[in-house]
Structure formats: structure tokens, C-alpha cells
Structure 1
């Protein structure tokens, strides 16, 4: 049975009882007293309805202040239905609050910036990424116009033109951002920012690497192709000239091979699939071998010494050997004849340290921060003389990153250089 039908039946029953009571009272005490008692009964019923209407009005003015009032008769059903609606509303409000909290938490964790604005671009909410990208502060800037906070002519033109179907690439606060405004609802807009600074830097590094690698490979190939063309066009060349050409081609071929090997090494070190396999490294044996190779490369033109006073460590033998050999080889290549190269292996509170110091040509301060970049050379003419590939220190950097070690460079032009590798203390193998 529907609540509305119950309401009408209950009130009809009450009215019928009042009429029956009036008729009985009239037959017993006369029609005057019967009508009087009937009127009194009707007045009581009306006053009860007015009383519950007043209680309902008081509750509606402040529905959260107290519990719903108890009812009588049809009012019991009315109040019970209101109580049920109130409970459902409270449940919906709780769920909505939880979903809103989850939404804001998800927006907070997004790497992209999200700014919620009204139809006149006043800031309502933003996540931490947007604060970082655009220099906003939700606490201080809430309620302010975003165009007053993001002072960029490109952004202002984008807002004024209103062509939101195409994203805007914006350079702002030393960042490169892709910004996009998305209208939603009638009075809301969302500004989304995506930081492409790092990807642009990586793309530029990739382009530079390809250009530099192509340039480095072109030189030996040009030499080899040139001599081959001479040999094919002039088969009567004398033996001495032909021998000199073959020697130069062999040197350029070896240089090209070293370059390819170094590029493959870098690719392998940067690969996420190339896991670091650690082992016990006998540092005395390794450094004595590096010392022997240094003497062979120097061919007696330098004084190379080794001071060994450190422990064995854990790491990749091949990678560590490659990194340390690169540092020693560079010291020999960039130190004039009769110079000194001092190699040392020590241990301290911060951990073991490898150092190679020389009294060579040195490096100007403006070049030091870029030494580990691929193909970066302080003096290109000097690097051609030393037959370097320009990738040695880049390999050193990646090897040390994999071993959580740090490269320290101290150099003074025309005085000398000192390259140190600081390994972490936990790399030491306890005796």
C-alpha cells in the first residue's frame, strides 16, 4: 500500500471517528453538546497538525541541529520517510566527499599541472605540479586571475584568441611547457600543463650525438676513401708512398674502430637491460696492470708512479677498469714530455678514492662542467693529435653513476689537473 493512500485512509478514519463521536454525544446530551464536543475534537486534530507542521518547519530551518522529531499518526510515516531521505543524503555526501578527496589526491600525484579556473579565469584550485610549472601558490593565489599570475605575452595571446583546440607551447620560468585549456561545465575551465623541458634536452642531446658521431666518422672515412681513390687512379705509385698511405689508412681505421667501440660501450652502459653485475675487485692487481699500460703508452716520455694504500672493492671489474684507464690515458695524452703522472689509491672516512694527478696543460674553469659531455673537447686540434674519441669521460661518468661514485675535477691551466673518483664507503670489502 502506498504511503499517500495510508495518509488519506488514516485521516479519513480520524474524521469518521469525530463524526461518530459527535452523533453519539448529540444523542446522549443533546445536539448542542454534541456539536460542541465535535468542534473541540476537530480543533484538537487541527492543533496537532499545526504542532507537527511547526516542528517540521523548525527542523527544516536547521536539519543538522538535532534529530528528526517523533510523530503521531500519519506524521510517523512522514518523519520516517524524511529520516530515510536524510540518511541517504548523508551517505551520498560522505561518498561525494570521499570521491572528491580521491580525485584531488590523484590530481596531486599527477606529473602534469592541473589548474581549475572559473569562466573569468579566477584560480579555484591547482595541484603541486601546476604550482611548480607556473609559479603558483594555491594558498596565496586562490581567487586571483591566472592571467595576472602567469605573466607571459604568449599565454595572454592564447587566452585572448580563445583557440583552445590547439595546445600552446610556452617557454616560462626556464621551462618548456605544453599548455592546453579545456572548457567544462558552464562556468569552469581546466588549464593543463605538460613539462617537456627534459625530453627537449634529451632530444637535443640525441641530435647533437648523431651530428657529432657522423662528423667524427666522416674524417677517417674521408682519409681512407681518398687514399683508396689515389691507389685506384695511380697504380704506379712508388712503394714508399703506398706504404705511407696504408699506414695512414690503418691509423684512421683504428680510430674509427675505437670510436664505434666507445659508442657501443656508452649504449650498453645506458641500457636499462644491462644490469650491473658486481664482483670482488683486486685493486692492487688492476692498478698495477693500468700502470703497465700507462708506461707502454707513455713510451718513457713521462714519469708515472703508483701509490697504493687502499682496500679491495665490489663492482664490475670491466667497467671500473675502463673508467680508471680512461682517466690515466687522458693524463698521459695531455701532459707534455718529461711530465709526471701520479696515480694513488687511498681509503678515508668517505670511502676509497682513486686519484690521477699530472702537471700537464690543465683545463680552464669554464670547460670543467662540460668535460663529461659526449664529443666535448677543450682543444679540437689537440684531440686530433692525441687520437681521442671524445667519449672517454662520458663513459667514465656513466660507469661511476652505476657504481654510485663521484668524479671530482681540479685543474689549473698550465699547472696541471687532478681527477679523483670517490667511491661510497659501502663499496669496501671488509677484511
Structure 2
């Protein structure tokens, strides 16, 4: 049916009924009384309409579906339609609020920084990553010009030139960032930042590792190839040939040890090589490390052990590699007649393995870099001691896999102490102690 008829027909019927009733009363009791009654009815109807208009006006100030009146007559249909419209609006608003909350949560978790600006670069919103990358604070900096907050010459040139099709790499706040501005809508722009500091550091480490590994392998290969060429071109006496073969054997063993250490490091860093924890008999482990150190020392040092601590959960092979590297370093860098002490003991935080020596010691400026690959305090001495430069890097990665840390205390000319700190969670406690806990 036509909507106009739906409105006017009921209204006309209600008016006709009221007027008919007034006419009937006027015919029965007199026309004056009928007119007065008709006038009173019309006044009541006007008052009712004004009352509903007032209720509608008040509702529009705070349009909530629960507060909408029921109405009478035509107002019933009006309020019913308003109720449906408001319910739809509330549903859409709830969905929009939910999506906005999801969007903000996603933006908060995003590792890349996102800054929303207007067309003249005034800050409207930024996520936590952008605050971290650019030093912004949303509450404090909202409404301020981004170029006044990010003071970097390359960034300023990027803004002025307006070549936003290509990203820009800048160094800012001790970070290397890739930034790009993306225009969207008519009067807004998005500034996206990506922190490549760690990836750049890893790439630099990779380049250094390849360069150092190539250098370390090239030296013994050069020696071996050189001696082979001499042997092929000249007639050598038995003594010279024996000396050359001895040197080539030493260089071959050096390459073999280097490759073994490189493979060990690669295996420790691989996600496909998980830690297989088992109970490690620490006394047996430390005694084995002592025997290995004594074999390397060949009687030139006094090596003692002290064991007063529990067993641990971990990999016997990996811990033997870590403890053994620390002990062998102590042997290599302690002059003949020196003392080396291997200690395993319980501590408040867990347990400690310590390697104490009376060797040449290490200057303070070198200590923080000792676990870097191929880092050597004295390269010439390392070659003499046949070190690969990867021993402490292996120790570091083994300890990371065992949730442990390495502490180094040393002073040039006064010996060194290397301390492996293992947490309580790695200890195998006696059964009685376990029951108490």
C-alpha cells in the first residue's frame, strides 16, 4: 500500500471518529456543548502531538534505542521506524568499534612503525613501533608537525623533494631505518618505518665471517700449496722434506680444526638441531676436561679441580665442548709453570663452573668482544697456540642453548677467570630436597 495512504487514512479515521462523536453529543445535548467538546478534543490532540514532539526532540539529544517512547496513533509507526534505524546504527557502530579495536591492536603489534599525518605533515596518530623508531609520543606530539619532531637532514630532503615512490634509508637515534611516505585519501599521508639495524648487523657479521674464514683457510692452504710446489720442482734432501711434511701436517690439522669449529657453530645455531637434555654427571665431565687439558699442557702446567655441586640437565657433548674450550684457552695462554684451576660449585642462583689461571690476562677493552667469531687479542700468539678464533663463540652459543651466561674477569698480566653461570632450573636436586619444595 502507498505509504501516504498508510499515514493519512488512519489519521482521517481517528479525526472522523472524534468529530462524529462530538456531533452525536451535540445532537443529543445541544450544539454548543458539542462544539465545546470538539474544541476540547482538538486541544487534547494538539497537546498529545506536542508532547510526542517534545519527547522526540529530547530523544534526539541522546538517541538510544532503549529510551525511545512507544507513541500512539501515527507516532507508533514513526517511533517504530526510528527504533529500527537506531538499532541498525547501534549494530553498525558496535561492529565499527570492534573493527577499530582490532585495527589498533594489529597496529600496536606491528613491528613496523606507522604514522598517520595530514596533508601538511601534522601528526594525527602513531603506533608504539613508530614511537620507538622516531622518538615520538602520541599523546604529547599529536597535532605537531612531524618535520619538527624528526630532525634529520636526509628525511627533510626526502620531504621537500616529494619523491615518495622510493623508500629512504636514514640513521636516526642509533638505528638504521627505512622510511617511506604513502599518500592516501585527499588530505592524509602515512609514514611507514622499518628498523633494519639488526639485519644490517647480521649482514655485517656474515660478511666479516666469510672474510675471516677465507683468510684463516687461505693461510694454511698457501703454506701447503707452496711446499708442494717446492717439492715438485726441486730435489729435496730427506731432512728438508721431513720438515716440510711436518709443517704441512700442522697446517692441515689447523684447517681441520677450523672447519670442525665452523660446523659446530652452524649446528648450534640451527633450529633443526634442538637441545636433547639428559642428566649430566658433572664430576665425570670436569674430570674429562682436566684430562684433556693435561694432555694439551704436556706437563707444563699444574691443573687442579674442585667439585662441590649437583649434576645438571643438558647435553654432555655440548657442555664438554664449552668447558673444554675454556680449559684449553687457559692452557694456551698460561706460561709454562703456571697454575690452572677447574671449579664446579653450587651458588645462590644455581651453579658455577670456573676456570681460573695465572696466565697473561686480558686488557679490559678486549673483554666485551672475546665471544665474537675470529676475534683475537693477539693474532700472532693465537697462531702460535693453534687457536681457531671460534672457541669462545662456541662457548657462548652452547650456554645460550642451556639458558646460561658467561662472565669474564681478567687483568693484563694477572691471569683470568672465566665463569659459567647455570640457572637453578638446570640443576638435578636430591630427591629429599625436591620433596621439600
Q: Structure 1 residues 23 and 158, CA, compared in 2 at 3 Å: closer, same or farther?
A: same
**CA shift digits 1:282-332 (9 cap, x unpaired):** 222222222222222112222222223333222111111111111111111
2:227 alignment partner in structure 1: 227
Q: Is the 8 A contact 2:65 2:87 kept in 1?
A: no
What is the Cα deviation at residue 27 of structure 1?
8.8
1:86 alignment partner in structure 2: 86
What is the Cα deviation at residue 118 of structure 1?
2.2
**CA shift digits 1:43-78 (9 cap, x unpaired):** 776665555445434433443598234433222211
1:411 alignment partner in structure 2: 410
After TM superposition, list the pairs within 5 Å mapping 1:76-225 onto structure 2: 76-225=76-225
Q: Is 1:288 equivalent to 2:293 in the alignment?
A: no
Q: Is the 8 A contact 2:117 2:190 kept in 1?
A: yes
d(CA) in 2 for partners of 1:165, 1:381: 52
Q: Is the 8 A contact 1:59 1:66 kept in 2?
A: no
Q: TM (normalized to structure 2)?
A: 0.90
What is the Cα deviation at residue 32 of structure 1?
10
2:358 alignment partner in structure 1: 359
1:332 alignment partner in structure 2: 331
d(CA) in 1 for partners of 2:413, 2:132: 44
1:375 alignment partner in structure 2: 374
What is the Cα deviation at residue 226 of structure 1?
0.9
d(CA) in 2 for partners of 1:146, 1:56: 46
**CA shift digits 1:158-216 (9 cap, x unpaired):** 22222222112121111111112222222322222111111111111111111110110
3-state DSSP of counterpart to 1:375: coil
1:266 alignment partner in structure 2: 265
1:389 alignment partner in structure 2: 388
Q: TM (normalized to structure 1)?
A: 0.91
3-state DSSP of counterpart to 2:344: strand
d(CA) in 1 for partners of 2:308, 2:69: 88
Q: CA RMSD in A?
A: 2.7
d(CA) in 1 for partners of 2:345, 2:38: 113
d(CA) in 1 for partners of 2:68, 2:309: 82
Unaligned runs of 5+ in 1: none
3-state DSSP of counterpart to 1:212: helix
Deviates more, 1:139-148 or 1:14-23: 14-23
Q: Is 1:422 equivalent to 2:426 in the alignment?
A: no
Q: Is the 8 A contact 1:154 1:170 kept in 2?
A: yes
Q: Structure 1 residues 243 and 3, CA, compared in 2 at 3 Å: closer, same or farther?
A: same
Unaligned runs of 5+ in 2: 431-437
3-state DSSP of counterpart to 2:10: helix
d(CA) in 2 for partners of 1:414, 1:225: 39
3-state DSSP of counterpart to 1:423: strand
d(CA) in 1 for partners of 2:188, 2:254: 63
What is the Cα deviation at residue 404 of structure 1?
1.5
d(CA) in 2 for partners of 1:25, 1:294: 126
d(CA) in 2 for partners of 1:40, 1:288: 114
Q: Structure 1 residues 424 and 20, CA, compared in 2 at 3 Å: closer, same or farther?
A: closer
Q: Structure 1 residues 284 and 35, CA, compared in 2 at 3 Å: closer, same or farther?
A: closer
Deviates more, 1:384-393 or 1:338-347: 338-347
